């Protein structure tokens, strides 16, 4: 479900603010009924008309990007830094990253204009899994991995249980490779969790977004999701 004015803006009717004025003036109908409430939410099945003319909804686009380092997970940046959206050339629809990866974090990032699915994929209540491979300073033992898995108190709040495994240890660099799967996505969560137990993160890659991986995609490359993949994502957050 998305707000009516947002759907109108995406369909090219007007800006979101102007769309709100159009709604309040009584020029918009949803399923034949005049709607003036700005909080109204609509689904993909609702029929929306402005001045009696049905609007053409924006085609839903789903893009998987292998995010490179030194890019911002936003549509635009006031500091003129490179953004993930700029990497997706040739897509006319206005797409947005689903959640965020830090400037120096790489890996699987979904971009879409499907606001309803984006909400479900990022809201903690849907428990959508994200898997990261971490390179951290120090030699991590199974007991530290178990502590992460049980949950870490960050800013007074316990993180949700996670799946954590130690992959390898490099004596020459004194670094540990580990894998962690989360079902939530607080700001800088992986980095903060590892830092809290004394293993600062040197490199972080999102290996999987749900079942999606960047296999076959070089850093900075992207591809469209298949219809089957989209349905699978929708199924994962509908259970």
Write the pLDDT tens digit of every residue in 18-73: 999 999 999 999 999 999 999 899 987 899 999 999 998 888 999 999 999 999 99
How high is the mean pLDDT of the chain? 94
For the whole model, what pTM was predicted? Answer: 0.82
- Pairwise CA distance, residues 127 & 119, whole Å: 12
CATH 2.20.25.90 for domain 129-209, yes or no, is no
| pLDDT tier at 76, thresholds 50, 70, 90 | confident
Catalytic member of 102, 104, 116, 155:
102
Q: What percent of the chain has pLDDT over 70?
A: 100
Positions of CATH 3.30.70.580 in the chain: 62-123+212-236
State the greatest distance between any 2 C-alpha atoms of the chain, in Å, as a whole number. Answer: 71
12 has pLDDT over 90: no
For the ranges 88-92, 183-187, 194-198, 210-214, which has the lowest average pLDDT? 183-187
How high is the pLDDT of residue 239?
66
Residue identified by tokens 């991590």 is 140
Determine contact, residues 41/57, Cβ cutoff 8 Å.
no
| pLDDT tier at 185, thresholds 50, 70, 90 | confident
102 is known as an active-site residue: yes
Beta strand 62-67 with 222-224: parallel, antiparallel or unpaired?
antiparallel
Tokens of 231: 């349905």
3-class DSSP assignment, residue 60? coil
Tokens of 149: 């898995």
Closest CA to 226 of 207, 205, 238, 211: 211
CATH architecture of 62-123+212-236: 2-Layer Sandwich (3.30)
- Pairwise CA distance, residues 239 & 236, whole Å: 6
Give the CATH class of 2-54.
Answer: alpha beta
DSSP assignment of 164-187, as one string? EEEEEEETTTTEEEEEEEES---T
């Amino acid at each position: 479900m998305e707000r009516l004015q947002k759907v109108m803006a995406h369909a090219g009717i007007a800006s979101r603010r102007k769309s709100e004025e159009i709604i309040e003036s009584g020029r918009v109908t949803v399923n034949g009924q005049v709607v003036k409430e700005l909080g109204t939410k609509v689904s993909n099945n609702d029929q929306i008309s402005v001045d009696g003319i049905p609007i053409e909804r924006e085609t839903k686009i789903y893009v998987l990007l292998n995010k490179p380092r030194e890019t911002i997970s936003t549509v635009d940046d006031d500091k003129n830094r490179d953004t993930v959206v700029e990497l997706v050339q040739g897509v006319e629809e206005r797409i947005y990253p689903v959640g965020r990866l830090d400037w120096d974090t790489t890996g699987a990032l979904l971009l879409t204009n499907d606001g309803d699915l984006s909400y479900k994929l990022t809201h903690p209540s849907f428990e959508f899994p994200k898997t990261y491979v971490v390179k951290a300073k120090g030699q991590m033992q199974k007991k530290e991995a178990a502590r992460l898995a049980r949950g870490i108190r960050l800013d007074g709040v316990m993180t949700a249980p996670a799946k954590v495994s130690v992959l390898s240890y490099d004596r020459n660099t004194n670094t540990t490779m580990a894998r962690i799967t989360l079902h939530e996505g607080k700001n800088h969560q992986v980095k903060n969790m590892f830092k809290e137990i004394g293993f600062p993160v040197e490199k972080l890659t999102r290996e999987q977004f749900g079942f999606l991986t960047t296999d076959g995609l070089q850093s900075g490359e992207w591809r469209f999701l298949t219809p089957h993949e989209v349905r699978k994502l929708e199924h994962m957050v509908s259970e």
